[in-house]
Amino acid sequence: GTGIAPFRSFWMHRAELMKVEQHLGPAIFFGGYRTPELNLYRNEKQKYHRILELPPVNFSRFSREVVIEKDAVGDQMARRLYEYLNIHGGHIYVCGEFYMANDVKSFAVSLFQKYGNINEDEAASAVENLINSGRYHETIFGITVGARKTNLDYKRKARLMKDYSFR
């Protein structure tokens, strides 16, 4: 539930905005669960999928129990995600464990590489541009191998932001 909590508040906020007829772009929720029982807020997600016109997309890791054409569905959604990010100026929000977040970032690089028809370095730069422009958001937790370096990087960035804000 920790990974889904920030997005839960996001879809609730969107529902309130739509009550006052604000036009909002599309939103897609990708969730991964080890078992069907871990699919928290299942009913609530369905309610908000209808209210917010969110595509009913819910990729899961229990695909041995559910037979789906993962490659076709995955490719179709990957192309849409690329278009939202690259063409429509969309944002990506990642919340969960450190290792999952790294996998998502690698997926984003491969997405830009495949659908942008660019090499891996250019794709990594495209993802870095999303991060630097404030369109790639992460709330991650867990033990990291490079935690000391990561913490130092965040502290350095925070100092730069603090210095900049007082000018």
CA distances 125 to 8, 116, 132, 150, Å, are 30, 12, 10, 19
Q: Please write the tens of the pLDDT for every residue from 114-124.
A: 999 999 999 99
Q: What is the DSSP letter of 89?
A: -
5-165 folds as Rossmann fold (3.40.50)
Q: How confident is the model at residue 48 (pLDDT cuts 50, 70, 90)?
A: confident
According to the 3-state scheme, what is the secondary structure of 27-83?
Answer: CCCCCCCCCHHHCCCHHHHHHHHHHCCCCCCCCCCCCCCCCCCHHHHHHHHHHHHHH
Where exactly are the structural domains of the chain? 5-165
Total-model pTM: 0.69
pLDDT the model gives residue 39: 77
The residues pairing with 103 across neighbouring beta strands, listed in sequence order, are none
